[in-house]
Amino acid sequence: MKFLIKNVKLTDHRGSKISDLLIEDEIIKKIGKDLSAYEDSMVIDGTGKVLMPSFVDLHVHFRDPGYTYKEDIESGSRAALKGGYTICYAMANTKPVCDNMEIYNYIREKSKDLDLIDLYQNIAVTKNLSGKELTDFESFGDDVKFISDDGRGILSNHVMNQACLEAKKHNIGIMVHGEDPEISPYDYRLAEDIITLRDSYLSKITGAKIHFSHVSTRGSVEIIRDYKAQGANITCETTPHHIYLAGEDFRVNPPIREKADNEALIQGLKDGTIDCISTDHAPHSKEDKEKGAPGMVGLETAFATSYTALVDSGNLSLEKLSQVMAYNPAKILGLDHGEIKEGARADLVLVDCEEEYIVSQADIVSKSKNSPFIGRKLKGKVLMTFRKGRLMYGGKN
């Protein structure tokens, strides 16, 4: 099917302009001021709306295999599409742990069969997330881009150093969960900062590619800024909830910090210290959440949360938001995505930046509803998501 989106504001990291855009045969076929000759397509009036490259999330938990009562690949993918995402990277803390190619291939093939989003998958750094014995790097397929012990992290300096050396040898990145669990019970801030410092240094001396997940403290931002200036091969993300929330007790890991941390994270996004925004989408059942499970669902509210906290507040431009939600994370994955140009794959999201709405539990399509944003008013709504030229969310699909 062909789609003609008329009179829409096209925005990516390079700038914005009002134009028409034609989608045909999975790609952006044509961009121009007046494409009325193509009105045999399905015409969408984009007046007052913004069309952006679809978002890329480097940090999601889809709970498959093993915890599919919380989420599965299909429900997680549909939540992603509702949030404007067409590319996601899933963590390895499944059951059994994704620490081998058999489980990795199961997840990848299931996602390909569904054909809803492009789902990439982490393999654990250590067997069964033990933090002790490295997984078999030699067995990894060519499409394995990152490994991670997210959820626990690696306490041993020796094991992390060996992991960096192996990752460098095999040209694989490591996503770091920055936490020393021995320190967390009495100083959660130091627990993050000390691992950020250690792994920044290890990246510098080994050359390993390190990506810091869910950075949340001003101290970690300062460390990463310093080591980037020294040439360390590091990138990092923060989350919408760590930008938006301050001083609240909704349980996530790392925890919600203070206003000064919000300000440091925003400054880090402004100056490029923080490369991207990822959700750390972590679904839990009501019962598990009541028992203290850390985490929240975030895919469906990520754009509105980020837009409200960053763009509507005057902290970032919409173009910069596109950069940190689409272009930069795609670049970290080595993907050609994040720019609206003729010939590019038509992975796009249509948003209304002026629409305000109250987040409702009934509107969440994830299996889990653990969100601190339920009942809050946000600004900026995803209207449609296109992937490979197909309308995957919104309209009459």
Residues 279 and 223 in one domain: yes
Above 90 in pLDDT, residue 1?
A: no
H helices of 41-183, where?
A: 73-82, 101-114, 157-169
- 247 domain residue, yes or no: yes
Reported as type and span, the H/E element at residue 175 is strand 173-176
Residues 136 and 224 in one domain: yes
- Express each pLDDT in 91-124 by its tens digit: 999 999 999 999 999 999 999 999 999 999 999 9
**In the annotation, is 280 catalytic?**
yes
Residues 293 and 306 in one domain: yes
- 368 domain residue, yes or no: no
Task: Give, as one character, the DSSP assignment of residue 327.
Answer: I
**What is the DSSP track for 31-74?**
EES--GGGTTSEEEE-TT-EEEEPEEEEEE---TTT-TTT--HH
At residue 34 the predicted structure's pLDDT band, cuts being 50, 70 and 90, is confident
Residues 112 and 150 in one domain: yes
pTM value is 0.97
Q: Which of 199, 280, 312, 347 is catalytic?
A: 280
Q: Report pLDDT for 397.
A: 46
- 337 domain residue, yes or no: no
Q: How many domains does the chain have?
A: 2
Residues 42 and 72 in one domain: no
- Express each pLDDT in 167-213 by its tens digit: 999 999 999 999 999 999 999 999 999 999 999 999 999 999 999 99
* Domain extent at residue 388: 3-52+343-363+373-393
